[in-house]
């Protein structure tokens, strides 16, 4: 039995948590003062946010040993007493994210401590995005920005903060598969190449995603294709944006030396908002660096078209 929620319910919950949780309140308040700048990357509108509090995520150690030695912050028994949740569906809890990027930022973990894997969960994602119509629900693969790859979770943030929806509205999507009214399309001309599923039906969306998933390469030693996914309500239903990846962090990731930058791109960055926890990186980042990040982490037109050709 699925418990239904709404943007209004979640907004009230978020305000209540901010009012009773000083650490979260401090971080949400600090967000109002962060520096933001705009970039144009070959027609894509990109925002850059200088957000020092996000260093906990960008510098997160996600190797097996570090994960084993830390207490999982998404398990209910390790969460602070002040952190309440809204139960959603059979398995999920909606929480506020105490280290926000968005003015309204949620973390939505599975109640069970189970690995971050997307297989079989797209219908949940679509249902969530359709109920939380002011929010973009997103998924970071275990090697694509998730700071808890050992505990399955989605996140969500207010949609008007991201720029990808606007970028895709003006883009030329080529439909490559359909399932009833639902469509799977490709956008392979922007600096960021993506697949787009439009549907008003969670099951049809899941089926189209499964066909895409089966066509994507799985790197050696990994359990799923590398990807970020963004999902948001549209006037016609829900749009799912799948961004295939081939690399976790840019070649110049790091804190030592003048040439490095502390950038660990995930769904939000793919959604058009780059997060820099260090001020020097905020000052330095420009269109050519964003283009280089997309080139290094994401797929080329040929690689995207190869996947498209394998979709059955």
Sites of contact with Zn ion (CB under 5 A): 72, 74-75, 113, 151
> Between vectors from CA 213 to CA 210 and to CA 218, what angle results, nearest 5°?
150
CA separation for the pair 22, 20 (Å, rounded): 6
> Which residue's CB atom is positioned nearest to Zn ion?
72
Return the number of the residue (75 or 117) whose C-beta is nearest Zn ion.
75
In angstroms, give the least distance from the CB of 41 to Zn ion.
36
Query: What DSSP string describes 191-228?
Result: SS-EEEEEES-HHHHHHHHHHHHHHS---TT-SS--EE
Return the number of the residue (148 or 308) whose C-beta is nearest Zn ion.
148
Return the number of the residue (77 or 256) whose C-beta is nearest Zn ion.
77
In angstroms, give the least distance from the CB of 114 to Zn ion.
8
Return the number of the residue (70 or 280) whose C-beta is nearest Zn ion.
70
> Which residues are within 8 A (CB) of 14 and not within 5 positions of it... i.e. 6 or more apart?
96, 104, 106
In angstroms, give the least distance from the CB of 12 to Zn ion.
27
In angstroms, give the least distance from the CB of 129 to Zn ion.
23
Helix H or strand E encompassing 125: helix 122-131
Return the number of the residue (15 or 115) whose C-beta is nearest Zn ion.
115
* Residue 105: burial class (beta carbons within 10 Å; 0-12, 13-18, 19+): buried
Residue 2 per-residue DSSP state: P
In angstroms, give the least distance from the CB of 216 to Zn ion.
27
In angstroms, give the least distance from the CB of 72 to Zn ion.
3
Q: Tell me if residue 234 falls in helix, strand or coil.
A: strand
Query: What DSSP string describes 240-297?
Result: EEEEEBS-SS-TTBSSSSTT-B-----HHHHTTEEEESSHHHHHH--HHHHHHHHHHH
Q: Give the full edge-to-edge strand order of the sheet including 36-41.
A: 36-41, 44-50, 273-276
Nearest in space to 104 (alpha carbons), one of 144, 74, 132, 140? 132
CA separation for the pair 165, 173 (Å, rounded): 13
Return the number of the residue (147 or 276) whose C-beta is nearest Zn ion.
147
> Which residues are within 8 A (CB) of 302 and not within 5 positions of it... i.e. 6 or more apart?
none
In angstroms, give the least distance from the CB of 55 to Zn ion.
22
In angstroms, give the least distance from the CB of 70 to Zn ion.
10
Return the number of the residue (34 or 75) whose C-beta is nearest Zn ion.
75
Return the number of the residue (77 or 302) whose C-beta is nearest Zn ion.
77
């Amino acid at each position: 039995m699925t418990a239904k929620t709404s943007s209004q319910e979640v907004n009230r919950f978020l305000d209540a948590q901010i009012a009773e949780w000083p650490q979260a309140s401090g971080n949400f308040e600090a967000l109002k003062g962060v520096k933001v700048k705009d970039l144009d990357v070959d027609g894509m509108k990109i925002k850059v946010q200088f957000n020092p509090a996000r260093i906990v995520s960008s510098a997160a150690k996600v190797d097996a040993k570090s994960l084993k030695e830390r207490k999982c912050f998404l398990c209910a028994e390790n969460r602070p007493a002040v952190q309440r949740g809204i139960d959603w569906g059979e398995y999920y809890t909606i929480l506020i994210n105490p280290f926000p990027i968005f003015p309204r930022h949620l973390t939505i973990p599975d109640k069970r401590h189970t690995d971050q894997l997307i297989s079989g969960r797209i219908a949940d994602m679509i249902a969530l995005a359709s109920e939380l119509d002011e929010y973009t629900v997103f998924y970071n693969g275990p090697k694509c920005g998730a700071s808890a790859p050992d505990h399955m979770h989605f996140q969500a943030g207010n949609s008007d903060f991201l720029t990808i929806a606007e970028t895709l509205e003006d883009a030329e999507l080529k439909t490559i598969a359909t399932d009833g009214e639902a469509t799977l399309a490709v956008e392979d001309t922007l600096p960021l190449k993506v697949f787009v599923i439009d549907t008003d039906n969670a099951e049809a969306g899941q089926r189209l995603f499964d066909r895409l998933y089966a066509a994507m390469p799985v790197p050696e030693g990994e359990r799923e294709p590398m990807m970020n996914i963004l999902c948001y309500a549209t006037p016609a239903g829900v749009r799912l944006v799948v961004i295939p990846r081939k690399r976790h962090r840019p070649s110049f990731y790091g804190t030592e030396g003048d040439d490095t930058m502390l950038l660990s791109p995930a769904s939000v960055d793919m959604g058009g908002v780059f997060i820099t926890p260090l001020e020097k990186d905020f000052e330095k980042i420009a269109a050519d660096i964003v283009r280089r990040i997309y080139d290094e982490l994401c797929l080329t037109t040929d690689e995207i078209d190869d996947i498209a050709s394998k979709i059955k």
